[in-house]
Structure 1
Amino acid sequence: MNKLVYKPVSLALSITAGAVSGLVFKQVWKLVSNEDEAPKATSRDYGWGEILAAAALQGAIFAVVKAAIDRGGAHGVRKLTGEWPGD
């Protein structure tokens, strides 16, 4: 039953993680590159290295933010229910 209750919470946390990681990435990219926007994969103005570096940075930021938000959500559910979600 705990897994069923946690599903909507998990979905909301995933959406939040996506939004937060996008904002964090934009700020980090501005600091690193002095540009407002990261290059798109199809942009002809950038080389492979810049495109792949931007993608790697974005992926790493997303993974860290999502893990932090998911872990915090699991702790919150445990405090409310007394059980760790997924156990």
Structure 2
Amino acid sequence: MPALVLVEVSIHNPELYEEYKKHTLATIEKFKGRFVVRGVKTESLEGDWNPERLVILEFPSVETAKKWWASPEYSQAKQIRYQAANSKMLVVESH
């Protein structure tokens, strides 16, 4: 069953975040993932949730998404993201 990874990002170092983005695409593609939404403007319809940046990825399964997140390939990019931004990340099954 496909899985979505939802990421809410608040960037505090835009230049370093651009470096993170350069390292990320190849890691996602290696795990047969793809961007569904990448950093587009959001508008809250209910509640006070208004992310600065929202990213949604799709992977073939939750297991594959978790393997990507824990992979050595993504580890380097993840460390850059930790320095450039604060983020929250969820993985959910999709239909």
Query: Which has the larger share of strand?
Result: 2
Structure 2 length-normalised TM: 0.30
Relative contact order: is structure 1 or structure 2 higher (C-alpha 8 Å, sep ≥ 6)?
A: 2
Structure number with greater Rg is 1
